[in-house]
Structure 1
């Protein structure tokens, strides 16, 4: 875990030194805490009520930590991690504790905090993991009216910070609840790489036809919910009794393959630290690319706006100089003795000619000012429209597009365009920096995307650090494996025993 803590600090340092300053200049929100508090890898359990989430947690921990049953047992989230003693903290304590990285959950409201719990338990698997148990999903798609807090927003927050998401279904409700459909179509969009879908309690089926029917129903429901060409893999398993290690149901279908599927799920849970390492670097790379596109388009739009407004200002200044010069050259006509006498005697009829000239000049000046103001407003509207931003996006990356098609850039653009529209409408184009220092920061970010951020993965040997004890890496003869990667079940090597014998004799 030392390598993981080191990686997280490097990632946070990159956020602070490379991304933060540029993000502040272009009002880009970076979803990262500024505190350097490394957190454990997190595994989130979602699913319908009575689908086996709490039972699965109890199974992998080897003891009963969470209450389970057919009826809903709780209506809040539970954070479960390792501790030398069993202890339970309430939600208000969790979000105010200086050593826990959940302070940002305080804004979810007092109703959420009243149902949030933090449990510590001396289970070995929890030493390097935090398990997050969630309340069972219900048929209503707007659970906030029934729970008292915004359940979907809570799921979104926990899902984004989780390194693995397990979504449980059971034979009674294979993907048909309103909240489950809503969560898949909104809160879990873009998190497919973290998600495992599990059909649990297959030991309840008395015949293989019942299993096939339920499995087909779940596939059908997911195909209508998840917008992908192929249905994602569905893990099918059951949870044996903790005491006996056997299925609760005696008259059931053959369960050998489902035991293997359960072991695959547990192996993925044990891989959560390695997943966290990947997610940290991948998340940093995604945010860096989005910030780069965001900044490049904002810089292009602000530069174009400033260029056009400068041209307009120069035109106005040139017009004023022209009028001033013309007035100076015609000063003898303006200040002749006849008009001076008429002005001193207030003979306005004699001043008709210069009055018409001055009035026409004032009217023309006002007309020009109105035209300029209208042109500026129209220019601003055209820039801050979706079509206008599309033009600046293509202009900012014209060199890349001239070489080959960049579907990745278009995908990033679709993600950041709403944010840019919000920024220019809320803060205006003048608030966006066009200085040379901003251009240097953007160039530094692009270089970091190419070299520094990908190199974070190569600095740490994730395989030896995070691999579970039952799967050991291949080690070449001329290299010694790190001490942290040695299994507790392995016997010590002969040279070590000889050294111990010699030390005992001495």
Structure 2
């Protein structure tokens, strides 16, 4: 059994307990994997299901000393992250729930080799960003366990900060990976640094990675440490200055959450201003926490969307590009083979007429075998030339289309004698195309099922809700559960 199949089976087991709706999704990814494996788009030990995190993921990004770790500690109700005005931790910290009340810190290797976590094989990306650093995975990542109810069912990531000097390239590479896979991204700014100039590089990076994204709604911008600023300037002026600075960089932020640590005793010098700031902090913190608790729902939609886009990418982009390249390689090679064959036959006929070789069967046989040998040699030369040309073309197409499937690898596997002789590709047929169509349709159906679980557009009372009211009316102390209704 391949490693990818084992991974999906383990995933199905987990999802059957945590979210049964997504079990079918995992099986659909397994079908996509089989097609991609057969066509050579991915390696046997790879799986498209591994390209997305199956656990709800929240990332907390920002500068050093912007209050990220303090915010996380307040959310978890545990002082699990070090905090301070200086850079106290230069690693990405993945926080995961554990029944054990004791906090445990595990090395980055635990994340790099475990496909269940969002940093599976991230060492390869680190190596690409900075040669030799991939082996030092423990210097970039760590895993911490925490027994906090607020962490159940989700994974939280605390970043070391955008302004890491010596390893900035690698830090930004990992940050981009986190942004892509997160369900919610909290970006913290420090209100104590009113000069936007200090944030120039960070703002430019944020614009590059977050502007015009299809999932821009998952970004929350938090202006932290306003307890210090409020004593000196108007909060409205501070927020306006930050919005203006980000707008100048091309990032349109409609709302800033303004908070400070609940442990801080605010002394604004004016009782009215103080109460107003505290009320705003409580409102904004409550809204942020609400968004953090809703990531599980967003996770389900994200996975279903990934299934849909992966299927379409394979069916509508990767496979057509591969078929087109294989068809072109085969057609051009056949044309030159036919031209060479015609030239050899014409030459043999002309030589036979001139020299009278037709009267010597032995010489004619030797000449025929020599001609076939020449034809085979030139066929391999022609085939190799066209293969190289189509590899280069596919490589450019993959980069321009930003495909997750390796077109060149698929071409190398499928451009063989069987394909050349029959024109048919092992691993692809009309029935397989119909399977992919069914998966695409199934993704739409599952989104509708998820909508049915979470919405009721008609506003009509369902049978389950009626029974719930009946049970409560008879004996309110009994409450309501699924077993009673069934």
Q: Same fold (TM over 0.5)?
A: yes
Aligned to 1:495: 474
Aligned partner of 1:199 in structure 2 is 223
Q: Is the 8 A contact 1:41 1:129 kept in 2?
A: yes
- In our comparison, the structure showing a higher alpha carbon Rg is 1
Structure 2, unpaired ranges of 5+: 1-14, 127-133, 361-366, 480-486
Q: What is residue 268 of structure 1 aligned with on the other side?
A: 291
**Does structure 1 conserve the Cα–Cα contact (< 8 Å) formed by 2:104 and 2:144?**
yes
Quick one: distance in 2 between partners of 1:65 and 1:250?
A: 33
1:435 equivalenced with 2:422 (yes/no): no
Paired with 1:462 and 1:59, the residues of 2 have a C-alpha distance of: 35
Quick check: 1:47–1:136 contact (8 Å CA) kept in 2? yes
Structure 2 equivalent of residue 238 of structure 1: 259
Q: 1:315 to 1:138 in 2, by over 3 A?
A: same
Q: Is this contact kept in 1: 2:189–2:223, CA < 8 A?
A: yes
Q: Does residue 157 in structure 1 map to residue 180 in structure 2?
A: no
Report whether the alignment pairs 1:86 with 2:102: yes
Question: What is the CA deviation profile of residues 287-346 of structure 1, one whole-angstrom value per residue up to 9, with x for unaligned ones?
Answer: 22222302211211220221121122122223323333444455548879xxxxxxxxxx
Residues 281 and 384 (structure 1 numbering): CA distance in 2 closer, same or farther, change over 3 Å?
Answer: same
TM-score, with normalisation over the residues of structure 1? 0.67
1:184 aligns with 2:184: no
**1:442-453 aligned within 5 A:** 443-444=433-434, 446-448=436-438, 450-453=440-443
Structure 2: how far apart are the matches of 1:248 and 1:482?
52
Of the three residues 50, 53, 73, the one matched with 2:68 is 53
- Cα distance in 1 for partners of 2:390, 2:434 equals 27
SS at match of 1:80: strand
Work out the CA distance in 1 between the residues paired with 2:262 and 2:59: 22
* 1:215 equivalent in alignment to 2:200: no
Mapping 1:378-389, distance limit 5 Å: 383=390
* Alignment partner of 1:127 is 2:157: no
Q: 1:74 maps to what in 2?
A: 89
Greater mean deviation of Cα atoms: 168-177 or 122-131: 168-177
CA contact (8 A) 1:238 1:262 kept: yes
Comparing 287-296 with 377-386, greater Cα deviation is found at 377-386
The question of whether the paired residues in 2 share the 8 Å contact of 1:42 and 1:161 is answered with yes
User: RMSD of the TM alignment (CA)?
Assistant: 4.8
Say which is worse superposed, 435-444 or 232-241, in terms of deviation.
435-444
Match of 1:6 among 20, 31, 36: 20
1:203 deviates by 3.1
How far did 1:127 drift?
A: 1.5
- Please tell me whether residue 455 in structure 1 is matched to residue 445 in structure 2: yes
Structure 1 residue ranges without an equivalent (≥5):
145-149, 337-357, 394-411, 501-506
* 1:21 and 2:35 are equivalent in the alignment: yes
Q: Distance in 1 between matches of 2:224 and 2:340?
A: 74
The alpha carbon displacement at 1:462 in A equals: 7.6
SS, match of residue 218 in structure 1: helix
Q: Please report how far the alpha carbon of residue 162 of structure 1 lies from its aligned counterpart in structure 2 after TM superposition.
A: 2.2
State the distance in 2 between where 1:234 and 1:373 align.
Answer: 63
Q: Give, in whole Å, the separation in 2 of the partners of 1:16 and 1:277.
A: 18
1:109-148 correspondence runs (5 A): 109=134, 111-114=136-139, 116-138=141-163, 140=165, 142-143=167-168
The CA distance in 1 between the partners of 2:386 and 2:122, in whole Å, is 42
Question: Structure 1's 497 and 266: CA in aligned 2 closer, same or farther, altered over 3 A?
Answer: closer
Q: 8 Å contact 1:382–1:388 — kept in the other structure? A: no
**Take 2:54 and 2:395, find their aligned partners in 1: how far apart are those partners?**
42
Residues matched between the structures, number: 430
Using structure 2 for the length normalisation, give the TM-score.
Answer: 0.70
What secondary structure does 1:81 align onto? strand
The Cα shift of 1:218 comes to: 2.9
State whether residues 61 and 126 of structure 1, in contact with CA within 8 Å, keep that contact through their aligned partners in structure 2: yes
> Retained in 2: the 8 A contact 1:197–1:235?
yes
The separation in 1 between residues aligned to 2:404 and 2:141, in whole angstroms, is 35
CA shift for structure 1 position 446 = 4.8
Distance in 2 of aligned mates of 1:2 and 1:177: 45
Partner of 1:406: none
Alpha-carbon distance in 1 for matches of 2:221, 2:183? 15
Note the C-alpha offset of 1:443.
Answer: 2.0
1:51 match: secondary structure: coil
Change (3 A) 1:3 1:188: farther
Within 2, Cα distance between the matches of 1:35 and 1:375? 39
| CA–CA distance in structure 2, aligned partners of residues 33 and 217 of structure 1 | 44
In the other structure, the counterpart of 2:402 is: 415
Contact 1:139–1:178 (CA<8 Å) still a contact in 2? no
CA distance in 2: counterparts of 1:38 and 1:389, whole angstroms: 28
Aligned equivalents of 2:78 and 2:458: distance in 1? 33
| Residues 302-451 of structure 1 aligned to structure 2 (within 5 Å) | 302-330=326-354, 332=356, 383=390, 414-416=401-403, 420=407, 427=412, 430=415, 435=425, 437-440=427-430, 443-444=433-434, 446-448=436-438, 450-451=440-441
